[in-house]
Amino acid sequence: MADNSTYHYISSFFLVGIPGLQDFHCWIGIPVCLLFVLALLGNSIIIVTIKLEPSLHQPMYFFLCMLAMTDMGLVFSVAPRMLGIFWLEDHGIDFNMCLVQMYFIHTFCIMESALLVAMAFDRYVAICIPLRYTTILTTTMVIKMGLGSMTRATLMVLPCPLLIKRLPYYTKNVINHTYCEHMSVVKLASANTLINRAYGISVALSVMILDLGLIATSYIKILQAVFQLSSQNARSKALGTCAAHVCTILAFYTPALFSFLTHRIGKKVPPSVHIIFASLYLLIPPTVNPLVYGVKTKQIRDRVMGITSILLDKCPVKVAFYHYYYDFKIYVKFPETQNPTY
């Protein structure tokens, strides 16, 4: 271990961004900004739509609303920092702020995973035991499941920054990443990091194995129930209600598994590829989820179209356009008696 009289504790880190692609950071920031804006806009529309439409005040949509809020928290935790690196060359980040960012990113990721489990359970009850749906998934139960997902994530991630805080950082302060990720920070410590590595791997594996196992169990039960239906139309309708959720699961877990595996066993994967996937893992799901549910869920699609139509009808630009267009038609028809207002 380094001698305290020789070295000083590091007070900040340097976030490289995407190693090897620094010359293209300005261009890479454009899709990142686009994903950020789309994620905020799409999830805001989902939340407002569910809030304004009484017919959507059901467990399935309450879970979707929680997922949208989690997605917004996730993109707010990572996208502004990325844009600061790509566009403003702002690579420095305070040690404590790095730990705060790391904590929120991992917390929101675990919360999202738990909510996907809750939504799988919702589909299982709706398809396999529909007569008990309203008695099992009451508003109180939905709230408890939402609070449970938040509590689990908070408690599981809390030891990570505390364990990092006890480590000395003397010589290395360069993080080859676009954000403060747990293992990237741990690798810079000037001490034995076995406890940190073991805990990080334990949390990641327990979340993935438990949550994916519960989701897989739910869908096995769902498929068994669906294929027992005699009507092809009924089977298609039942599976159609799960389509959006399945797309969300694939969008979330596929890049997550790739990032997890390449970080630990993918030694031959170029760092730039790993960092790109690790960044997309946090940006793609929050952007895709509202689009998937907006397209696949008729109730949300119809309500969004209705709200959009009302807003457009009241839009001053549209009202002014119709006003001038109407005056122009009158002027063309009766040029000697009408005077257009434009």
pLDDT of amino acid 4: 47
Token reading at 73: 């928290």
Residue 102 belongs to some domain of the structure: yes
Mean pLDDT score across all residues of the chain: 83
| Least-confidence region, from 128-137, 185-194, 313-322 | 313-322
User: pLDDT tier at 314 (50, 70, 90 boundaries)?
Assistant: low
| E runs forming strands in 164-258 | 174-175
Question: What is the pLDDT averaged over residues 61-78?
Answer: 94
Question: What is the pLDDT averaged over residues 219-235?
Answer: 83
- The type of residue at 277 is F
| Least-confidence region, from 44-53, 188-197, 259-268, 290-299 | 259-268
Token reading at 118: 């809750």
What is the sign of the dihedral through the CA atoms of 140, 66, 163 and 94? Answer: negative
pLDDT of amino acid 315: 63
Are 146 and 66 a contacting pair, CB within 8 Å? yes
Question: What is the pLDDT averaged over residues 173-200?
Answer: 90
Token reading at 19: 């190693």
Token reading at 122: 């919702």
Distance, first Cα to last Cα, the chain: 79
Residue 220 belongs to some domain of the structure: yes
User: Interhelix angle for 194-226 vs 139-157, to 10°?
Assistant: 150
Are 87 and 56 a contacting pair, CB within 8 Å? no
CB atoms < 10 A from the CB of 95, how many? Answer: 18
pLDDT of amino acid 199: 93
The residue among 104, 111, 94 whose CA lies nearest residue 151 is 111
Helices and strands (H and E) in the chain: how many: 12, 3
pLDDT of amino acid 249: 86
Question: What is the pLDDT averaged over residues 170-189?
Answer: 88
Higher-confidence residue of 68 and 235: namely 68
* CATH number of the domain encompassing residue 46: 1.20.1070.10
Q: Is pLDDT at 330 greater than 60 in this prediction? A: no
pLDDT in tens, 9-42: 788 899 999 988 888 899 999 999 999 999 999 9
Residue 132 belongs to some domain of the structure: yes
Question: What is the pLDDT averaged over residues 189-218?
Answer: 90
The residue among 244, 246, 226 whose CA lies nearest residue 234 is 226
Q: What length does the chain have?
A: 342
Residue 316 and residue 328: Cα distance in Å, rounded? Answer: 18
pLDDT of amino acid 340: 46
| E runs forming strands in 84-136 | 92-94
Question: How would you write 36-51 as a 3-class SS string?
Answer: HHHHHHHHHHHHHHHH
Residue 25 and residue 230: Cα distance in Å, rounded? Answer: 56
Q: Is pLDDT at 181 greater than 70 in this prediction? A: yes
Residue 302 belongs to some domain of the structure: no
User: pLDDT tier at 1 (50, 70, 90 boundaries)?
Assistant: very low
Q: How many domains does the chain have?
A: 1
Residue 243 belongs to some domain of the structure: yes
Q: Is pLDDT at 164 greater than 80 in this prediction? A: yes
Residue 301 belongs to some domain of the structure: no
Write out the residue range of the structural domain in which residue 145 sits. 12-296
pLDDT in tens, 71-130: 999 999 999 999 999 999 999 999 999 999 999 999 999 999 999 999 999 999 988 898
Residue 252 and residue 255: Cα distance in Å, rounded? Answer: 7
pTM (predicted TM-score)? 0.84
pLDDT of amino acid 205: 87
Token reading at 30: 């454009």
Angle in degrees, CA 259, 265, 270, rounded to 5: 65
Residue 319 belongs to some domain of the structure: no
pLDDT of amino acid 320: 54
Residue 322 belongs to some domain of the structure: no
| pLDDT > 90 in the chain, percent | 44
Question: Residue 228 phi/psi, 5° resolution?
Answer: -85, -10
Q: Which residues of 42-72 are buried (b: 16+ CB within 10 A; e: fewer)?
A: bbebbbebbeebeebebbbbbbbbbbbbbbb
